Amino acid sequence: MTKQKRFLLQESEIPTQWYNIQADMVNKPLPPLNPATHEPVKVEDFFPLFAEECARQELDQTHSFIDIPEPVLEKYKSYRATPLVRAYDLEKALDTPAHIYFKNESVNPLGSHKINSALAQCYYLKEQGITNVTTETGAGQWGAALSYAARTFGLEAAVYQVKISLQQKPYRSIMMRTFGATVEGSPSMSTRAGKDFITADPTNPGSLGTAISEAIELAISTPNCKYTLGSVLNHVSLHQTVIGLEAEKQMEQAGEYPDIVIACFGGGSNFGGLAFPFLRHNLLDGKQTTFITAEPSSCPKLTRGKFEYDFGDASGYTPLIPMFTLGHDFRPANIHAGGLRYHGAGAIVSQLLKDQYIKAVDIPQLESFQAGLLFAQTEGIIPAPESSHAIAATIREALRCKESGEQKTILFNLSGHGLIDMTAYDQFLNGDLQNYDISDADIAKTLASVPKI
């Protein structure tokens, strides 16, 4: 008997709304605070920075479902729904009784889930009459997606890419330029924040935190220009829930429901995107699915950070966000999973972790590449180093099932492909990659940068 491998949705089955988990949470996320007054930030306070509609979504704790605007849905239809795939060959290689499914966001335009929010943010900006957009990017997945989305809706884009990632993955910046975007390595000399970082340490390889500072500074100092973020914030995760909403229908096609849902974790948008629609059923319908975030051992905010109000960027330009954080001064090691090199977690996920709806694990770099290699060799898709963290966590669970004999259903998000990261695979194959240990003392030191409230 043939076992079905891929579960597809027709265009008419693509979700027409995003899921806003804030409305259903028992303990709502704490409000972001104005760093000067320590007063809760109001919707209008975000207007100088973000699209007004995104600002409203950011603080919306009442509407469970929010309509996807028609022009965004139209663009979704040119690549969504993405396939849900049963990873039979990976199961076989692991000799596990577990059923492993993955949502394949790697076949999206630009190769990752990022496009789902990039299109929404650029659309809202365009609608509002904005002409220019800035952003930060780590590995470049977000920057590439944003560049294409900006082009689609007729905006000029300027991208700050983390310097070390720009060097490790030169192809991604070419992708951004293919869509007409300007790209600069961060820290750069083009902003006040960048100059400060470079003056303090000319070898600073950059991080998402430094790049966010620079992009925000450019946005607030440029007329008719707004800033967009690729993760962390509530509205970004909201846009990504199209992934989980599709997966829900597709798991139903497969006749299964996930016991475990896994995604890699940088700021939280690909995790939230897949997990929240399933978590909804834990919150409302008594389901008991386990949700696992997979973060790098070298950037362990959820496993070893502290739940505090902290800045979202390295320079302290953002509001204070209630987050699990390593301190905004934290400088992550130069791992290849550039999209996971971020000191904090979004407010929603932080609250859910605190309330024990979510479990966090950390993955050493070498384990992530080992997992990515096995996935490539069995399923034929070379995963992004970020996504390989989810694969590694999946393999751990599948091997646990092998030991216990349990036939659990595991669903993970293949957030992107790794074709732009082949030099990282090259180094791994040559034995030139390493793990990065981080001591409690190191973490205590950067946690000291968390502002006192």
Where do contacts with a copy of itself occur on this chain (CB under 8 A)?
2, 4-6, 8, 10-11, 74, 77-79, 85, 88-89, 107, 109-111, 115, 148, 151-152, 170-171, 174-175, 177-180, 373, 376-377, 379-382, 419-420, 422-423, 425-426, 429
CB of 88 to a copy of itself, least distance (A): 8
- Report the residue number, 75 or 328, with the smaller CB distance to a copy of itself: 75
Residue (172 or 280) nearer to a copy of itself, CB: 172
> Which residues have C-beta within 8 Å of that of residue 365, sequence separation ≥ 6?
296, 297, 298, 335, 336, 337, 433, 434, 435, 436
Whether the CB-CB separation of 210 and 189 falls below 8 Å is answered with no
- Least gap, CB of 78 to a copy of itself (angstroms): 5
**Would you say how long the chain is, in residues?**
453
* C-beta closer to a copy of itself: residue 25 or 144: 144
Burial of 61 from C-beta contacts in 10 A (0-12 / 13-18 / 19+): middle
CB neighbours of 264 closer than 8 A, spacing ≥ 6? 270, 271, 293, 294, 295, 337, 339, 340, 386, 387, 388, 389, 390, 413, 415
In the bound state with a copy of itself, the residue whose beta carbon lies nearer, of 76 and 271, is: 76
- Which CB atom, from 14 or from 333, has the smaller least distance to a copy of itself? 14
Least distance to a copy of itself, CB of residue 135, Å: 17
C-alpha span between 186 and 209 (Å, rounded): 10
Q: Distance of alpha carbon 185 from its chain centroid, rounded?
A: 20
Taking the complex as a whole, the smallest distance from the CB of residue 252 to a copy of itself amounts, in Å, to 15
Distant-in-sequence, close-in-space partners of 360: CB < 8 Å, separation ≥ 6: 265, 292, 293, 295, 302, 303, 353
Nearest distance from residue 4's CB to a copy of itself, in Å? 5
b/e per residue 208-241 (b: at least 16 CB within 10 A): bbbbbbbbbbbbeebeebbbbbbbbbbbbbbbbb
With respect to a copy of itself, which residue has the nearer C-beta, 38 or 77? 77
Compare residues 17 and 449 and give the one whose CB is closer to a copy of itself: 17
In the complex, the smallest distance separating the C-beta of residue 295 from a copy of itself, rounded to whole angstroms, is 24
CB of 171 to a copy of itself, least distance (A): 4
